[in-house]
Amino acid sequence: MLLQTHQAEIETIIGRYPSKRSAVLPLLYLAQDTYGYLSPEAIREVAEILELPPTQVFEVVGFYTLFYDRPVGTWVIQVCDDVPCCYVGAEELIAALKATLGISEEQTTADGMFTLQRVKCLASCDRAPVVQANLDYIYDVHAERAEELLNNLRARAAEAKQRGVSGRFAEDYLLGPQGIVHIPRDAPYQQERGERK
Amino acid sequence: MPDVTITVDGRSFSVPAGTNVVDAARMGGIAIPVFCYHPRMPAVGMCRMCLVQVGMPKLDPATRQPLMDAQGQPVIALMPKLQTGCTTPVSEGMVINTKTEEVQFAQKGVLEFLLTSHPLDCPVCDKGGECPLQNLTMEWGPGQSRFDYNDKVHFEKPVPLGDLILLDRERCILCSRCVRFQDELADDSVLGFDHRGRNWMIVSKSDPPFASKFSGNTTDICPVGALTTADFRFKARVWELSSKPGICTLCPVGCNLNFDMRHDRLMRVMPRENGAVNDIWLCDKGRFGHRFIEHESRLHAPLIRHGDHFVEASWEEALTLVAEKLAAVQSARGGSAIAGLAAPRLSNEDLYLFQRLFREQLGSNNLDHHLGSPDDGDHDDLGGLLAVGKGTNLMELGAGTTVLVFGADPEEEAPLYLLRLRALVQRGAQLFVANQRATKLERSATQALRYSVGGELALARALVRELLERGAAERIKLKHSGLDALRKQVLAQTPEQLAAAAGIAHEQIVALATALLEAEHGLIMYGAEARSAGLALIETLGALAVLSGNVGKPNSGMIALLPGGNSRGALDLGVRPDARPGYVLMPQRGLPAQQLWSAARDGHVRALWIAGLDPAACLPDAREALTAAEFVVVQELFMSETARMADVVLPAASVAERDGTYTNAERRVQRSRAARAPHGQSRPDWQIFQDVAQMLADMMVLPHPRVEAEGAKPAKAAKGAKTAKGQNEQVVTRPPEPPRWDYLTPDEVAAEIAERVPSYGGVTYEALAATGNPGVWGRQANEAVFYDGTSYENTEGIGIALPSLISTGRFTLSLSPRPAPVVKDERPLLLLAQPLAYGGDPLLRGSLLERQLAQPAIVISQSDAEKLNIQNGDRVRIVSAVGELSAAARVHADLPPGLVMVPAGLPGLCLSRIQTGPRTRVSLVKVVV
């Protein structure tokens, strides 16, 4: 039960808002990180903590693609397949990820490491194609480097597990010539792009 | 609000400022098509169907005056894009065009989009024939679609949203009318949208799903066939149905409904608009709970007992036997050896003739409409005496109105009041909800007053004291007595003492008293929990109404929530041992139901006639009495437990099989009409009473002398008699010349009631047929086109509101207080019989609601549970001075300690076995297995 395991954190979150219901998103993230995904029971638990009709909390979960209402892997890989990303190879990237992982969209690898999803615009068209892994942004990902990306993520599985799937502590990365590069939050915006062939 | 002048399609007219463009155009007779907009709910502008061209007078930037063109007309600046009419309020000089090419292009476009994935399955859709989507497409839509039929999205269907309502996702246009109805009107937020974009869908995640007593209304307001009821699905095409106007008798609201019949079969029940009663809504009990009419277990022929089994008989045989047996008992032992009980769901005509039969033909006053169970309580006179005045219309009330709901759970006792009271609050009324436990209505209250268990009388007295302190006594304009005694009683305690005893802060009491005093209109509604506290409380509430000046005028007074659909009619028309029709008290009283069983067991009452009640189901005393009685007639719809013990069983026609009038909680008399032929050989109750009365009249010397003597000396009778509440009775001086038993139709009975019962004067069938102003719905310009499904116009009369008895000037109100009931029992807990809409009502048989019937349970508070180490589901036993009862425990966080709640009326859990009166003290133990 969330209220038992995270009581102090829940109280802090709720205390930030004038009315309890405003805490619905942070509490859902908390529940998602705790349980790995939002089961109907977890959603009802949040509803009960916030004294909301369960239907309203289910509505929130259903609306946002970043709430997972079924079990997902350690890394949820979301690839933008909207127009700009498509122009620079999103479909090829998706095909490569599928082939490498041996799964199709909305599926999770047998080892529970990766879940693959297509999403619409991630608002980083200038660095397309864009991949989002547990909300870590990874820019300039091309099909031929799919495996490299996956290896990097697999290597950081423990980190992902510790941070949770919700991306509450997500960071930005660039898939540069030397591999994946972390972009600090306060770094100035860089026009630098990954090498293209 | 001031009026503004607008021009719609070239026609200028005035509408109130603040009206939205759709409603404003409608006032001018111009229809703007809508899907998501509904006049009963705030606009959201989701469907885009109401797009219109809107222009405003151009202002001179310097002078802020409208610019004029060469002709002296104001220059109109059209808004650059079309506007949604439902979300645009009108303003002075606004120009609205609804028929320009641009608007028509938009309307066609919106409809084409809405239809992109519509399955076009009208031939198998329940909504077909009364479907706004069909209608609007015909009127405003494109003849053809450019979308390929094969590209339509398909979904699994139907999706059950609950037991009663099914969703067809392909038909849904996502207008959110159903979601908004549940959120805003019904206050059950059980519907919502899941996913988004193309996958958007309605879901219900409450437990159980779609847990609302008003769910059926969503199918009425659904503008497409997306929501259908499991009750009507695939049953009939709507154009085959003929709507027969009826009145719901399942609770005291008296909702107007239509029995939609195909030939002689009931296909569905729909609300019929009545602004003063149910608006355009109907609760699920009324909508789905009428399947009993056609239930296979209905009695179809008279039955006569032969030894231990029944044999079918002709009416002639059965009625002759009844008349002979009653005549024999009458002549051998007198009228007092005969007793009659009639259900508070029978019509006024039935009830009136029942008491005539007993008083005039059998010389018996042993009459009642109660069950004779320990918690019957006293007859409720105040709800008639201080009833809301003639001309009351809850639909018109808003700001300036104070409503106090005291000891009632309207959602369960009279569900539709929940919608009406919420609407009142939304229009600005103040709602105070006083109760000892949480009820759903409390969530809508301006202020909730949770009095301590057993603290209700202290709260009522504290309120009366506050009013008296403020000199409210001078406001009383009615004939009254006992004011000094009342003053003395309430002043004996300080406000602080009373507030402490009530468990309510003194400031809250002052606030409520102030709101009642200052209200232009004041309503006090009380229910089962208040009534169980006894007359001391009810009369104090009456004093509260009187002292705050809220009686004897329209829209003010008391509303008593009594069981059944026509308890008020039974009280008005004298189906009680102590008063004739019109609350005329009798010097010689008969036995009330509660004393009946012991009297029958001891042989004082030899013959019993029970119409529509089933005391044997739950009362061991009644079973004993029925066994001991010499002769028992039961008039029923079904073979009830009581009928099984009868000597003669007479099949009665149901509410849908006969004409009749019913008096609701606000004392509005409404007419219900026959929708089908009586089941089998069953007959209307009034006819059965009349047939037996005729036989008796032919058979025996009438016991008239006594009755006549009583009527001939009204003054003497008045002197000695006191009502149950202590008011002096004033007997009608009209000498009762007993009418003959030759009514051909119920309207002749109603005409006689109108003539002989003072407050029913003028209530004839002819007068009842008047539709007056049925509300603000009605059918207006092309309204059916987009409000089809809810536009069930009331062409059959909206009923007549009776004047409150006090305003007739024939009664004196006694304010002298009663002492609080003394509780000798030391047991720690107070037992509360919780009235439930889906309790043990036998009329719910055959309906889909049977699955939702309450489960037997003993509901206890969290703290009592912890004290006794009781978990949910543990078997517990409650023990009173007279018996014990065990069931599974349900721990309820909202229940105050000291209270035990048990669903009332469940056949498997007979509360009457342990009740010692309206209030029973019990102790609770955990059963160790």
What is the average pLDDT across B278-283? 92
Question: Among B111, B137, B162, which residue terminates a domain?
Answer: B111
Q: Which pLDDT value is given to residue B354?
A: 97
Evaluate the CA torsion angle B560, B566, B569, B575 in order and state its sign.
Answer: negative
CATH for B340: 3.40.50.740
d(CA B595, CA B593): 5
Q: Which pLDDT value is given to residue B714?
A: 38
Comparing C-alpha atoms, which of B378, B398, B318 is closest to residue B526? B378
Tell me whether residues A56 and B189 touch, CB distance under 8 A: yes
Comparing C-alpha atoms, which of B560, B559, B556, B536 is closest to residue B546? B556
Does residue B619 share a domain with residue B719?
A: yes
Strand-pairing partners, residue B229, are: B165
Does residue B330 share a domain with residue B451?
A: no
Cβ of B894 under 8 Å from any chain A Cβ?
A: no
What is the average pLDDT across B508-534? 95
Tell me whether residues A63 and B196 touch, CB distance under 8 A: yes
Tell me whether residues B204 and A59 touch, CB distance under 8 A: no
Position B224 pLDDT exceeds 60 = yes
Strand-pairing partners, residue B201, are: B194
Chain B residues with CB under 8 Å of A56 CB are 189, 192
Does residue B552 share a domain with residue B592?
A: no
Chain B residues with CB under 8 Å of A57 CB are 205
Position B777 pLDDT exceeds 60 = no
Tell me whether residues B193 and A53 touch, CB distance under 8 A: no
User: Is B470 in contact with B476 (CB distance < 8 Å)?
Assistant: no
What is the average pLDDT across B26-40? 90
Comparing C-alpha atoms, which of A64, A13, A79, A81 is closest to residue A166? A64
Does residue B405 share a domain with residue B540?
A: yes
In this complex, which of B190, B191, B195 lies closest to A62 when CB atoms are compared? B195
Residue B821 lies in a domain: no
Residue B146 lies in a domain: no
What is the average pLDDT across B689-699? 93
pLDDT band of B39, cuts 50, 70, 90: confident
Give, in degrees to the nearest 5, the angle at Cα B857 between B853 and B859: 120
Comparing C-alpha atoms, which of B759, B822, B916, B792 is closest to residue B384? B759
Interface probe with A: pick from B174, B183, B194, most Cβ of A within 10 Å: B194
Tell me whether residues B194 and A54 touch, CB distance under 8 A: no
Report the length, in residues, of chain A.
197
Q: Which pLDDT value is given to residue B20?
A: 95
Position B438 pLDDT exceeds 80 = yes
d(CA B766, CA B797): 9
The answer for residues whose C-beta is within 8 angstroms of residue A110's C-beta and 6 or more apart is none
Q: Which pLDDT value is given to residue B708?
A: 40
Q: Out of A125-134, B468-477, B678-687, which region has the weakest mean confidence (pLDDT)? A: B468-477
What is the average pLDDT across B670-674? 95
Cβ of B154 under 8 Å from any chain A Cβ?
A: no
What one-character DSSP code corresponds to residue A190?
Answer: -
For B383-394, the DSSP string reads: HHHTBPBTT--G
What is the average pLDDT across B378-401? 90
What is the average pLDDT across B325-352? 96
Comparing C-alpha atoms, which of B657, B611, B577 is closest to residue B345? B611
Cβ of A55 under 8 Å from any chain B Cβ?
A: yes
Does residue B701 share a domain with residue B574?
A: yes
Q: Which two tokens stand for residue B18?
A: 């603040």
Q: Out of A110-119, B729-738, B823-832, which region has the weakest mean confidence (pLDDT)? A: B729-738
Q: Which pLDDT value is given to residue B710?
A: 41
Preceding amide of B2 cis, omega within 30: no
- List of domains in chain A: 2-63 (1.10.10.1590), 75-195 (3.40.30.10)
pLDDT band of B721, cuts 50, 70, 90: very low
Query: From A60, which residue of chain B is nearest by alpha-carbon distance?
Result: B194
Chain A residues with CB under 8 Å of B893 CB are none
Provide the total of helices (H) and of strands (E) in chain B, helices listed first.
28, 39
Task: State which amino acid sits at residue B55.
Answer: G
pLDDT band of B12, cuts 50, 70, 90: very high
The answer for residues whose C-beta is within 8 angstroms of residue B610's C-beta and 6 or more apart is B340, B341, B632, B633, B634, B635, B642, B646
In this complex, which of B195, B196, B206 lies closest to A55 when CB atoms are compared? B206
Q: How distant is the Cα of B160 from the closest Cα of chain A, in angstroms?
A: 15
Tell me whether residues A63 and B190 touch, CB distance under 8 A: no
Tell me whether residues A55 and B203 touch, CB distance under 8 A: yes
In this complex, which of A44, A54, A62 lies closest to B194 when CB atoms are compared? A62
What is the average pLDDT across A28-45? 94
Cβ of B189 under 8 Å from any chain A Cβ?
A: yes
Residue B507 lies in a domain: yes
Q: How distant is the Cα of A152 from the closest Cα of chain B, in angstroms?
A: 32
Q: Which pLDDT value is given to residue B722?
A: 41
Chain A residues with CB under 8 Å of B196 CB are 62-63
Q: Given the structure tokens 């066994």, which residue do they identify? A: B627
Quote the number of domains for chain B.
4
What is the average pLDDT across B755-762? 91
Does residue B20 share a domain with residue B51?
A: yes
What is the average pLDDT across B871-878? 94
- What number is the ipTM of this complex? 0.85
pLDDT band of B713, cuts 50, 70, 90: very low
- Distance (Å) of CA B767 to CA B253, B480, B582, B760, B763: 21, 33, 20, 12, 6
pLDDT band of B737, cuts 50, 70, 90: low
Q: Which pLDDT value is given to residue B481?
A: 85
pLDDT band of B872, cuts 50, 70, 90: very high
Tell me whether residues B193 and A62 touch, CB distance under 8 A: yes
- H helices of B232-341, in order, are 284-288, 315-333
Q: Out of A132-136, B179-183, B641-645, which region has the weakest mean confidence (pLDDT)? A: A132-136
**Residues spanned by the domain of B708:** 319-378+566-635+646-651+661-728
d(CA B909, CA B27): 55
- Distance (Å) of CA B71 to CA A50, B59, B165: 63, 16, 59
Position B220 pLDDT exceeds 60 = yes
Q: Out of A143-157, B471-485, B651-665, B687-701, which region has the weakest mean confidence (pLDDT)? A: B471-485
Chain A residues with CB under 8 Å of B195 CB are 62-63
User: Is B222 in contact with B789 (CB distance < 8 Å)?
Assistant: yes
Q: Which pLDDT value is given to residue B36?
A: 94
Tell me whether residues B203 and A54 touch, CB distance under 8 A: no
d(CA B344, CA B250): 10
Residue B641 lies in a domain: no
The answer for residues whose C-beta is within 8 angstroms of residue B306's C-beta and 6 or more apart is none
Q: Binding site for [2Fe-2S] cluster: residue ranges of A?
A: 80, 85, 121, 125
**H or E stretch covering B468:** helix B456-469
pLDDT band of B791, cuts 50, 70, 90: low
pLDDT band of B869, cuts 50, 70, 90: very high
CATH for B866: 2.40.40.20
User: Is B338 in contact with B607 (CB distance < 8 Å)?
Assistant: yes
User: Is B843 in contact with B510 (CB distance < 8 Å)?
Assistant: no
What is the average pLDDT across B687-712? 70
Query: From B202, which residue of chain A is nearest by alpha-carbon distance?
Result: A59
Residue B306 lies in a domain: no
Comparing C-alpha atoms, which of B587, B900, B910, B876 is closest to residue B729? B587
Position B731 pLDDT exceeds 70 = no
Q: Which pLDDT value is given to residue B864?
A: 93
Position B577 pLDDT exceeds 70 = yes
| End-to-end Cα distance, chain A | 51
Position B703 pLDDT exceeds 70 = no
Q: Which pLDDT value is given to residue B774?
A: 47
Residue B126 lies in a domain: no
Position B825 pLDDT exceeds 90 = no
User: Is B556 in contact with B728 (CB distance < 8 Å)?
Assistant: no
Comparing C-alpha atoms, which of B886, B865, B868 is closest to residue B877? B886
Comparing C-alpha atoms, which of B85, B154, B166, B83 is closest to residue B116? B154
d(CA B116, CA B114): 6
Q: Which pLDDT value is given to residue B811?
A: 86
Q: Which pLDDT value is given to residue B716?
A: 34
CB-based burial label for B670 (10 Å; 0-12, 13-18, 19+): buried
Q: Which pLDDT value is given to residue B701?
A: 56
Q: How distant is the Cα of B205 from the closest Cα of chain A, in angstroms?
A: 5
Does residue B422 share a domain with residue B373?
A: no
Chain B residues with CB under 8 Å of A39 CB are none
Q: Which pLDDT value is given to residue B773?
A: 56
Burial of B753-773, coded b for 16+ CB within 10 Å and e otherwise, reads bbebbbbbeebbbeebeeeee
Q: Which pLDDT value is given to residue B719?
A: 36
Chain A residues with CB under 8 Å of B194 CB are 58-59, 62-63
In this complex, which of B190, B195, B196 lies closest to A55 when CB atoms are compared? B190
Residue B426 lies in a domain: yes
Does residue B516 share a domain with residue B406?
A: yes
Q: What is the pLDDT of residues A137-188, one digit of tens each?
A: 999 899 999 999 999 999 999 988 888 888 777 788 877 788 888 888 777 7
d(CA B572, CA B381): 9
d(CA A50, CA A58): 13
Q: How distant is the Cα of A189 from the closest Cα of chain B, in angstroms?
A: 33
Cβ of A19 under 8 Å from any chain B Cβ?
A: no
Mean pLDDT value across chain B: 90
Tell me whether residues B195 and A54 touch, CB distance under 8 A: no
Task: State which amino acid sits at residue B468.
Answer: L
Q: What is the pLDDT of residues B48-66, one digit of tens each?
A: 999 999 999 998 888 888 8
Q: Which pLDDT value is given to residue B792?
A: 66
Q: Binding site: residue ranges of A?
A: 80, 85, 121, 125
Q: What is the pLDDT of residues B828-839, one digit of tens each?
A: 999 999 999 998
d(CA B895, CA B901): 9
Tell me phi and psi for residue B8, to 5 degrees: -115, 120
Tell me whether residues A55 and B207 touch, CB distance under 8 A: no
Q: Which pLDDT value is given to residue B512?
A: 96
Q: How distant is the Cα of B48 from the closest Cα of chain A, in angstroms?
A: 22
CATH for B94: 3.10.20.740
B588 φψ region: left (φ > 0), alpha (ψ -120 to 50), beta (else): beta
Strand-pairing partners, residue B284, are: none
Query: From B188, which residue of chain A is nearest by alpha-carbon distance?
Result: A53
pLDDT band of B530, cuts 50, 70, 90: very high
Question: Among B558, B581, B616, which residue terminates a domain?
Answer: B558
Q: How distant is the Cα of A23 from the closest Cα of chain B, in angstroms?
A: 18
pLDDT band of B712, cuts 50, 70, 90: very low
Taking only residues 111 to 150 of chain A, the set having a beta carbon closer than 8 angstroms to any beta carbon of chain B reads none
Q: Which pLDDT value is given to residue B730?
A: 47
Does residue B371 share a domain with residue B391?
A: no
CATH for B553: 3.40.228.10
Most confident of A83-97, B704-718, B789-803: A83-97
Q: Which pLDDT value is given to residue B540?
A: 95
Residue B251 lies in a domain: no
Does residue B546 share a domain with residue B682?
A: no
What is the average pLDDT across B284-308? 96
Does residue B517 share a domain with residue B394?
A: yes
Does residue B612 share a domain with residue B547?
A: no
| Strand ranges of the sheet holding B265-271, from the earlier edge strand across to the other edge | B242-247, B256-262, B265-271
Cβ of B194 under 8 Å from any chain A Cβ?
A: yes
Query: From A120, which residue of chain B is nearest by alpha-carbon distance?
Result: B197
